[in-house]
Structure formats: structure tokens, C-alpha cells
Amino acid sequence: MAQRDAAVIIAGGGPAGLMLANELGRRNVPTLLLCDRPSTTSFPAANATQARSMEHYRRLGFADAVRAVGMPPDYPTDVAYFTRITRHEVARFSLPAARQARALIKTLSGSWSAAELPHRGSQLYVERVLRAEAEKLPSITLRFGWRVERFVDEADGVTVEATRVADNQTQRFTGDYLVGGDGARSVIRKQLGFHFRGEAGVARDYMGGRMLSIWFRAPELYKLIPFPRAWQYWAVNRTQRGLVVAIDGREEFVFMFQLPPDMDEASITDEWACNALDQSLGVHCPLTMIGRLPWTAGLALVAEKFQRGRVFLAGDAVHLFTPTGGLGYNTAIEDAVNLGWKLAAVVNGWGGARLLDSYERERQPVAQRNTGYSRYYANSIGNFTPAPEIEGEGEAGDAARREAGIYLNRHAREEFNIPGITFGARYDGSPIIASDGIREGGGPPPDRANEYIPSAVPGGRAPHAWLGDGRSLYDTLGFEFSLLRLGPNAPDVAGFAKAAAARGMPLTIVDRPEPELGELYAASLALIRPDQIVAWRGDRVPEDVDKLLAMVTGA
Ligand SMILES: Cc1cc2nc3c(=O)[nH]c(=O)nc-3n(C[C@H](O)[C@H](O)[C@H](O)COP(=O)(O)OP(=O)(O)OC[C@H]3O[C@@H](n4cnc5c(N)ncnc54)[C@H](O)[C@@H]3O)c2cc1C
């Protein structure tokens, strides 16, 4: 193939495509992103950025920019449950405001030993940050308003045919690799012929069926709700369930409700949707409609393959969630992180061909795991039916609400406190992870949603620590591979550095003499990948260090 337009072409400018552009652009990889929309998303779909995504934003230098978007800094991110949102509050999980996050995370340990807390801010705003950051990178070209139609994967490159939406002008673009971050209806996945496997069409009382989200402006709504502010307001009753999510903390909200099974969504008027909202609120609320989005709950689907040849898929193109647990966009971000450094390493000459093969091997099991967790939460909230007396007066009503409160308080803490899910994903068995083998202290920690056990067993997130000078251990890592020398007796690593240099593999040596860090990693040396995953650990430089480096770089 002659002169290329880009090394990597990305189809889609949602979270997956934009994050990938950031990862590639930070490594100076010539990248062309084509997106059929005129700009970033015009609807507030996802509402939660999990802590692990925030750690990746921190690594790229824009976590603070993301934390600044959404609700005002002092707005609490509580999740609260009501019979109807203006009537009885039955359960509440209090969560911190954005302003508290930076100081609070430094006081936490155990499951929450992390550099960042989650941020509850809409995808509407987060995508704008991702786009603005990508635009700063000279090797990135973003072309919004271009629809990818098809591709040809030739032995030495890909050709992509795209149409400019404004005037139907068609153009071909050439690249070394193509990544389909083009969402649930991905044309790239369809052309590859990859099918989704898993669960679809599950029916539940709530979060199982056709759903409608309406986005509206209602400056009076807070005055109607006689309870402390919350980020999510769930109405749990026997006639009109629904979820109201605060978008800007002042006047914008999204209301998500399930359509009756026999109802055609095209026939739903704004008036009908507003009436459903009023039913969930228990009061009439004057509002101005901004937009609406029909979607399907009850999916837990993962594509049978994530890659063929020079073509890769990421995000909703390969996994579809019910949004309970808030994992769809966050799993998309981690796909982009995983693929980004690998593609860049290959394009920049130090990554081997097996590096790219490891993408599907590592990410597909995580997609299966995460869709499973979402399904669990959808069942937990969607199949909960309150007692008929839930809205009644007197002792029977009080008892029904107490009982619902016990259930919903437990549910909320399960769904909205998930350090195990966000930090605990692992790549055990990956061909580019040097497993410990049989080692005292056992293998990886158990996979639990609500508990994360820091562990440096290779294949998982590098355990985090705050340093004496107030910095995060992560802030001391290099942008590509890092070798941690841990504790007071860490060995000389000149051989490591020499072997890495000989392969052109970027390696930053980080000296951390604190004894507690050696204990945390249960090793004197730990090799950390660019995505902050432990690739190897040990107490001395391996005799054949070059063999190890060949393995972790897929050579
Ligand atoms: C109501 C709702 C609530 C949600 N809540 C959460 C939540 O709280 N937490 C969470 O993590 N996730 C949530 N999600 C899921 C989340 O929105 C998605 O998982 C996420 O947007 C996936 O990102 P993506 O980049 O893979 O795909 P998308 O965001 O769908 O982006 C795909 C992009 O590709 C573009 N595109 C499509 N076809 C083409 C083409 N042929 N050529 C060029 N461009 C193309 C699209 O226009 C779009 O810009 C929610 C979803 C919904 C519907």
C-alpha cells in the first residue's frame, strides 16, 4: 500500500473511539477518527465514571477536568429510593460530592486504596472533555460528520470508505489498522460477521424491556421534592417505576422508565411521557422537554470475536449491557486503554505481533464478567416487587416501607460501591503476562464486586499507595513500561534496563525504598505495563531477562 492517511483509523467518536484517540495521540501515532455525528453525544446516556476510568484519566492528565463537569462541586451524589419521589423516602446511600473526592480518597485504604474515587457526571459532558483533550494532540485528526460505510482488509493495510454526511461525498482512507468503536449497531462488526452471544430480551418489572429516557429542564423540581438532594431518585411502587437522574444539579434531569410491552414507542407523545414522570414523582411537574432516547434493557451480550487481521472492535461494538452497575461506558474506556498502548507499541516498532492478539484474549473475558455483574444488578432491582401496602398509611404501610428499605439499602450498597468490579478485573492466562507460577501466598484474590483485595499477582491492577510526599504511586510511573524497585534491598537492575534499551522498549525505573511498598507487592521488583497492570514480579532480575521482555511485549 502506498502512502497512508493514518497508522490507525477509528470509526466512532463515542467514549471508546475518543479514549483510543487520546491513548494513541499521547504516543504520537498518526490517527484519523471518523464519526457520523456532527459532534460528541447529544444525549446524556451514561451517568457514572467508575474509579478505574478516573485513574486512567489521571494517567492522561485530565481527571480534574472530568471531575469538574456535571453537577456543582458540593452536590451530594446520594442514591435514594422512594415510593414516589415526593412522597416517602425508604432508602438512601449517601455518597460524597465531587469537591470531597480528592481529600477523601487519600484517607481510604483496603478496597478503596486508589488514586481516584468515581465521578457521577454525565457522558454528555465527559465526551466533550475527551474530545477537547484529543484535539490538543498533533497526531490526531478528528473528522465528525463522516460515516464509515465499509472497509477492505488487505494484507498490508486497510482501506476505509466513508461518506461525508452533509453532502454525501464519498472518500477512501488508508491506514495500517482499523478500530470499530462504532457502537451497538457497528457496521465494522457486521462486516466482520461477528455475532453477539449471551442474554437478550429478558423481561423484568423494571430494567428488562423497552425503555424510554426523557431529558428535560424543570427548574421547579427540587422545590417539589421534600427530601435532601440526591444524584439518583428511584421510584419503587407497583404502578409506575422510574429513575430520575440529576444532570447539572440545577434544572436538568433524565427520567428513565419502562414502556408497557404492547406499546409502540413511536406512538408515545411527550404528554404521555410527562404523565409517566408525574406518576413516579407523585406530583405534577412543569417541564420543558430537551430530548428523548429509546433503548433496551435486559441485554448482557458479548461478541464472539473482538479482532480479525488488522481490524479491531471496542466498546458497545462488542459488548452490550443493561446500564445497572454503570459498566458499559467504563468497560469501553478500558478496552481503549488496553488496545491503545498495544497498537502504539506495534506502530512505534517495539511491540510484537502477539501483542495485538492479546487484546481479545484479555478483554473478552472482562466483558463477560462485567456484563454478568450488570445482569445481577438488573435482576436485583428489576425483579424486586414491593408489598401492595407500600404506599399505604398506618402500620401496614410503615411496615411495607421498612421492609422495602431493608432490601433497597442493601441493594444500593451492592450496586453503587463496587471497588471489586472496577479495580479487580484481571488478565490471568494472558500470553503476555508472566504468571508467578507456584508461589507462597497463593494466586489471584477472589473476584468480588464489593471488595477489592490489592494484589501484585501478575495480571491485575498494580496495587496503589499514597507516598509520603502526598503523591500517588501511579504519578511516579513512566508513560510506558515501568520497573518498580521496591523496599530497601531491591537489586541492581542495570541488566533489565540494558535489555529493554536493546529492544527499543521504553522503560522507566522507579525507586521506592519504602519497606511497606515491598510488602504490598510481596516482591522487590515489579514490572508494570503502560495500562498499570502488573506484567511480572520477582526478587531478582531473571537470568534471561530478554526472554521476559520479549514475552511482555508480544515479540
Ligand atoms: C440510558 C443509558 C444509560 C447508561 N448509563 C450508563 C452508566 O451509567 N454507566 C456506563 O458505564 N454506561 C452507561 N450506559 C452505556 C454507555 O452509554 C455506552 O456503553 C457507551 O456510550 C459506549 O461507548 P462506545 O464509544 O463504545 O459507543 P457509543 O457511545 O455508542 O459511540 C459510538 C460512536 O460511533 C458513531 N458511529 C456509529 N456508526 C458509525 C459509522 N458507521 N461511522 C462513523 N461513526 C459511527 C456514533 O455516532 C457514536 O459517536 C448507558 C446507556 C444508556 C442508553
Name the 3-class secondary structure at 369: helix
Measured from the CB, is residue 118 less than 6 Å from ligand 1? no
Residue nearest to atom 16 of ligand 1 (CA): 329
C-alpha–C-alpha distance, residues 457 and 450, integer Å: 20
Residue nearest to atom 9 of ligand 1 (CA): 326
Q: What is the pLDDT of residues 418-465, one digit of tens each?
A: 999 999 999 999 999 999 865 656 789 999 999 999 999 999 999 999
Measured from the CB, is residue 554 less than 6 Å from ligand 1? no
User: Could you write out the three-class secondary structure of 164-222?
Assistant: ECCCCEEEEEEEEEEEECCCCCCHHHHHHCCCEEEECCCCCCCCCEEEEEEEEECCCHH
What local confidence, expressed as pLDDT, does residue 542 receive?
95
C-alpha–C-alpha distance, residues 324 and 306, integer Å: 24
Letter string b/e over residues 428-456, b meaning 16 or more CB atoms within 10 A of that residue's CB: eebebbbebeeeeeeebbeeebeebbbbb
Contact yes or no for 329/422 (Cβ under 8 A): no
What local confidence, expressed as pLDDT, does residue 262 receive?
86
pLDDT band (50, 70, 90) for residue 230: very high
The three three-digit cell numbers of residue 92, written as one number: 438512601
Q: Which residue has the cell 468515581?
A: 118
* Strand arrangement, sheet containing 300-303: 196-199, 300-303, 319-320
DSSP-derived letter for residue 504 is T
Share the mean pLDDT of the chain.
Answer: 97
Residue nearest to atom 35 of ligand 1 (CA): 12
What local confidence, expressed as pLDDT, does residue 438 receive?
57
What local confidence, expressed as pLDDT, does residue 304 receive?
98
Name the 3-class secondary structure at 509: strand
Contact yes or no for 409/403 (Cβ under 8 A): no
Residue nearest to atom 39 of ligand 1 (CA): 182
The three three-digit cell numbers of residue 490, written as one number: 531491591
| Mutation choice for ligand 1 from 171, 182, 322, CB with most ligand atoms inside 8 A | 182
C-alpha–C-alpha distance, residues 133 and 330, integer Å: 18
What local confidence, expressed as pLDDT, does residue 263 receive?
86
Q: What is the pLDDT of residues 75-133, one digit of tens each?
A: 999 999 999 999 999 999 999 999 999 999 999 999 999 999 999 999 999 999 999 99
What local confidence, expressed as pLDDT, does residue 272 receive?
95
C-alpha–C-alpha distance, residues 548 and 551, integer Å: 5
| Mutation choice for ligand 1 from 9, 20, 33, 36, CB with most ligand atoms inside 8 A | 36
Outline where 225-311 has alpha helix (H).
270-281
Bridging pattern class, strands 300-303 and 196-199: antiparallel
Q: Does the CA dihedral 347-349-351-352 come out positive or negative?
A: positive
Amino acid 389 reads E
Q: Which residues contact 6 (CB under 8 A, 6 or more apart)?
A: 30, 31, 32, 141, 173, 174, 175
Measured from the CB, is residue 419 less than 6 Å from ligand 1? no
Angle at 305 between CA 301 and CA 311, to 5 degrees: 125
Name the 3-class secondary structure at 119: strand
The residue ranking higher by pLDDT, 201 or 289, is 289
Contact yes or no for 273/253 (Cβ under 8 A): no
The count of C-alpha atoms lying within 13 angstroms of the C-alpha of 229, restricted to the half-sphere facing its C-beta, is 19
Q: Provide the CA 207 distance to its chain's centre, in angstroms.
A: 20
Q: What is the pLDDT of residues 128-176, one digit of tens each?
A: 999 999 999 999 999 999 999 999 999 899 999 999 999 999 999 999 9
C-alpha–C-alpha distance, residues 218 and 233, integer Å: 15
Q: What is the pLDDT of residues 464-478, one digit of tens each?
A: 999 999 999 999 999
Q: Tell whether the model's pLDDT for residue 12 goes beyond 70.
A: yes
Measured from the CB, is residue 12 less than 6 Å from ligand 1? yes
Of 107, 138, 116, the C-alpha closest to 31 is 138
Measured from the CB, is residue 248 less than 6 Å from ligand 1? no
Percent of the chain with pLDDT over 90: 96
* Strand arrangement, sheet containing 534-538: 507-512, 481-486, 525-528, 534-538
Measured from the CB, is residue 418 less than 6 Å from ligand 1? no
Of 48, 72, 47, 45, the C-alpha closest to 251 is 72
Of 377, 410, 407, the C-alpha closest to 390 is 407
Contact yes or no for 129/62 (Cβ under 8 A): yes
Q: What is the pLDDT of residues 331-389, one digit of tens each?
A: 999 999 999 999 999 999 999 989 999 999 999 999 999 999 999 999 999 999 999 99
CB atoms within 10 A of CB 327: 27
Name the 3-class secondary structure at 298: coil
Q: Tell whether the model's pLDDT for residue 244 goes beyond 90.
A: yes
Measured from the CB, is residue 32 less than 6 Å from ligand 1? no
C-alpha–C-alpha distance, residues 344 and 27, integer Å: 7
Measured from the CB, is residue 36 less than 6 Å from ligand 1? yes
Name the 3-class secondary structure at 547: helix
The three three-digit cell numbers of residue 150, written as one number: 465499509
The three three-digit cell numbers of residue 91, written as one number: 432508602
C-alpha–C-alpha distance, residues 339 and 293, integer Å: 30
Q: What is the pLDDT of residues 53-64, one digit of tens each?
A: 999 999 999 999
C-alpha–C-alpha distance, residues 64 and 57, integer Å: 8
C-alpha–C-alpha distance, residues 497 and 483, integer Å: 9
C-alpha–C-alpha distance, residues 107 and 118, integer Å: 15
Measured from the CB, is residue 292 less than 6 Å from ligand 1? no
Contact yes or no for 257/211 (Cβ under 8 A): yes
CA 54 to ligand 1 center in whole angstroms: 18
Measured from the CB, is residue 411 less than 6 Å from ligand 1? no
Amino acid 92 reads R
What local confidence, expressed as pLDDT, does residue 510 receive?
98
The count of C-alpha atoms lying within 13 angstroms of the C-alpha of 278, restricted to the half-sphere facing its C-beta, is 11
Measured from the CB, is residue 89 less than 6 Å from ligand 1? no
Q: Which residue has the cell 537470568?
A: 543
Mean pLDDT of 62-69: 98
What local confidence, expressed as pLDDT, does residue 439 receive?
62
Q: Tell whether the model's pLDDT for residue 273 goes beyond 80.
A: yes
The count of C-alpha atoms lying within 13 angstroms of the C-alpha of 249, restricted to the half-sphere facing its C-beta, is 20
Name the 3-class secondary structure at 161: strand
What local confidence, expressed as pLDDT, does residue 2 receive?
66
What local confidence, expressed as pLDDT, does residue 433 receive?
97
Mean pLDDT of 252-268: 92
Q: Tell whether the model's pLDDT for residue 522 goes beyond 90.
A: yes
